[in-house]
Amino acid sequence: MVSQIASELADYLLAGDQQAAIQCIQQNEDMTNLMIFHQLITPAMQYIGELWEKNEITVADEHLATATCDFVFSRLFSWQGDQSANGKKAILLCLEGEQHYLGLKMVSSLFVEHGWNVRFFGPNLPLEYALETAEKWKPDVIGLSVSIVYHLPHLKHYVKHLSSLSNRPVIMLGGRLAATHDLRPYCDGNTMILKDLLMANHWLSSEVLEEKTNATL
Chain contacts with ligand B12 (rule: CB under 6 A): 37-38, 42, 45-46, 48-50, 52-53, 62-63, 66, 97-104, 106-107, 143, 145, 147-149, 172-176, 194, 196-197, 200
Whose CA is closest to 96, among 119, 134, 122, 127?
Answer: 127
DSSP-derived secondary structure for 106-121: HHHHHHHHTT-EEEE-
Scanning the chain, the segments in alpha helix (DSSP H) are 4-14, 18-26, 33-35, 42-53, 59-76, 102-113, 127-137, 152-163, 176-180, 197-216
Rank residues 50 and 210 by Cβ distance to ligand B12 and give the closer one. 50
Q: Nearest approach, Cβ of 153 to ligand B12 (angstroms)?
A: 13
Whole-angstrom Cα distance, residue 16 to residue 24? 13
Rank residues 76 and 148 by Cβ distance to ligand B12 and give the closer one. 148
Rank residues 181 and 215 by Cβ distance to ligand B12 and give the closer one. 181
Rank residues 47 and 215 by Cβ distance to ligand B12 and give the closer one. 47
Q: Nearest approach, Cβ of 152 to ligand B12 (angstroms)?
A: 11
Q: Nearest approach, Cβ of 39 to ligand B12 (angstroms)?
A: 10
Q: Nearest approach, Cβ of 215 to ligand B12 (angstroms)?
A: 26
